[in-house]
Structure 1
Amino acid sequence: MSAGLESFALKEEDAIKLLACQTHVGAANCDFQMEQYVWKRRADGVHIIHLRKTWEKLLLAARAIAAIDNPADVCVVSARPYAQRALLKFAAHTGSTPIFGRFTPGCLTNQIQKQFKEPRLLIVSDPRVDHQAVTEASYVGVPVISFCNTDSPLKFIDIAIPCNNKGVQSIGLMWWLLAREVLLIKGKMTRQTGFILDDKEIMPDLYFYRNPEEQEKEELVETREVKEPWPGVPPPEVAKIDEVVRSIGMYQTIAGVEPAKKLDFSMVEPVSDWAQETERAVQLDTAQQQEWGASTQNSNW
């Protein structure tokens, strides 16, 4: 397919990316239907995928996706955590509908379900992990495109793209290449300009999975390394305020005004001791009670 047109031929840069991300490294097991995509087997038992056939099937899948008039009718599914970032980026760049996380059974077959969808094309990251979506797509007659490793089953898979779908960098690069080829076929970009959208170059690492713990560590390092914008010099706003204050003379003493006099507290009556006052009140109270008792004893009741 790529031999006829030079623009669709496998470039050396893309081949280096595929090798660097270990897209050609398969699994130790091999399905009998995936033997046609295997180049050879290493001494340790790992199968090596033929990158030329990977590129051919990638172009075939890109043509099938670009043939859909409404991009929202293309549904992308992935239950693997490290493929969800690539899936969301692919959906944002191509306009497809993403379903990440757990695929709810009946999403393609149960019409009374809230998440019911009727896609024209389904793309999955792994046919073994996303088997529920592949099975339901076979019930409703929706063609399926899948990234398949050497041990992946090809049942109900219409277009299988042989690659390492278990590696973080590998699966991210494959989604990036697929999005680039789809936009290239649609005419939204060219080979000369590269993968550029809205005057921004889309790099492959944008599709790579990032560990949340590593992101938190990076944010902590950035917050700790806060540098002073004006070391040893006040900010310009403070300097302007200082100049205004000095210009109106607020820092100067006002002439002709006598200094404040000290207050003389010698004429103030001394404060009595509250403890002595309470003792005196208690003594008066007891004396009155004694007098009242004596008067009652002398009465003629």
Structure 2
Amino acid sequence: MSELTEATDIKKKILATGIRVGTQVKTKFMKPFITKASPEGLYMLDLDITLERIKTAAKFINRLGTDNLIVCSARQYAETPVEKFCEMLDSKKLLRRFMPGTLTNPSLPYYIEPKVVLISDPQVDEQAIIEATNAGIPIIGIANTDNITSNLDVIIPANNRGRKALATVYWLLVRQILIERGELKEEDSMKYEIDDFETKITEEEIE
């Protein structure tokens, strides 16, 4: 299968996941990544740019090493995607509340010194961004149309609220990192599918 058909196949596969569906708000930071608004008034993100940025992020992470990466997310729907991502790439995860001083206070028992930080939402993961910025650690962030991204070094424009969308972003990123490393060919299937990366909702949560 050629790279072109593979890229088309990937696009088809992920279009239905809502990865490019934004919110009804757009910030000046996210304007370059928006193509149009849907009939419901939701701003839509440019999928080609998202895929390009995933490639950029994968190169960046590989250069510094996945073992030097810490993935932070206080968003519930990001938990399974982050866990799968870290399991496959041997990265560290910090889920739920980000403890103050984690990146800036060496006297704390949970202090860590990563070389790169990946966050799921600039708004929810603000504490992680503040500390990484103060510590001079580069930040890769998944950002929606309404996010402020002034402190992100690499922006991955994508829907960072939806369960399937978040699963898709992390799945694509793992896939690209493995391709960059030469551990996976463009046409190969991964061990896990997007569904495996998705946070499942229990019956109680629905009610």
Question: What band does the TM-score fall into relative to the shorter chain?
Answer: over 0.9
Question: Secondary structure at 1:180's aligned position in 2?
Answer: helix
Q: CA deviation at 1:10?
A: 6.8
Distance 1:9 1:160, change over 3 A: farther
Q: Within the alignment, does 1:172 sit opposite 2:162 as a pair?
A: no
Which protein has the larger Cα radius of gyration, Structure 1 or Structure 2?
Answer: 1
Q: Give the conservation status (yes or no) of the 8 Å contact 2:73–2:96.
A: yes
Given residue 200 of structure 2, which amino acid in structure 1 is its aligned partner?
R
Residues 178-257 of structure 1 aligned to structure 2 (within 5 Å): 178-195=173-190, 201-213=191-203
**Change in 2 beyond 3 A, CA 1:124/1:153:** same
Q: CA RMSD in A?
A: 1.7
1:26 is displaced (CA, Å) by: 0.6
Query: What letter matches 1:80 in structure 2?
Result: R
1:23 maps to what in 2?
Answer: 19
Question: CA deviation digits over 1:169-203, x for unaligned, max 9?
Answer: 000111000001001111111123221xxxxx311
Question: Using the alignment, how far apart are the partners of 1:123 and 1:45 within structure 2?
Answer: 29
Which ranges of structure 1 fall in alignment gaps of 5 or more residues? 1-5, 196-200, 215-301
2:39 equivalent in structure 1: 43
Give the secondary structure class of the aligned counterpart of 1:33.
coil
Report the Cα offset of residue 33 of structure 1: 1.2
Instruction: Report what 1:290 is aligned to.
Output: none
Distance in 2 (alpha carbons) for counterparts of 1:10 and 1:34: 28
User: Are residues 1:111 and 2:106 paired?
Assistant: yes
Q: Which amino acid aligns with 2:189?
A: G
For 2:199 and 2:21, the matched residues in 1 are separated by 19
Who is 1:144 aligned against? 139
Percent of paired sites with the same residue: 31
Shift of the 44–96 alpha-carbon distance from structure 1 to 2, 3 Å rule, reads: same
Q: Which of 54, 68, 75 is the aligned partner of 2:70? A: 75
| Deviations 1:138-169 (CA, angstroms, capped at 9, x unpaired) | 00100000100000101210100011101010
| Count of equivalent residues | 204
Q: One-letter code of the match for 1:13?
A: D
Q: Which runs of 5+ in 2 are unaligned?
A: none
CA separation in 1, counterparts of 2:169 and 2:132?
22
For residue 11 of structure 1, give the secondary structure of its aligned residue in structure 2: helix
- TM superposition shift of 1:82: 1.2
2:77–2:161 Cα contact (<8 Å) kept: no
Indicate if the aligned counterparts of 2:6 and 2:186 stay in contact, CA closer than 8 A: no
Contact 2:122 2:147 in 1 (8 A): yes
Cα 1:107–1:86 change in 2 (3 A) is same
1:16 and 1:118, CA in 2 relative to 1: closer, same or farther beyond 3 A?
Answer: same
Q: How far is the alpha carbon of 1:97 from its aligned partner?
A: 0.7
Q: Is the contact between residue 10 and residue 55 of structure 1 (CA under 8 Å) also seen in structure 2?
A: no
Amino acid at match of 1:26: G
- SS of the residue corresponding to residue 30 of structure 2 reads helix
Indicate if the aligned counterparts of 1:148 and 1:163 stay in contact, CA closer than 8 A.
yes
> How much does 1:8 deviate?
8.2
Q: TM-score, normalised by structure 2?
A: 0.93
> How far apart, in 2, do the equivalents of 1:88 and 1:171 lie?
12
- Between the aligned partners of 1:34 and 1:52, the Cα distance in structure 2 is 15
Note the C-alpha offset of 1:212: 3.7
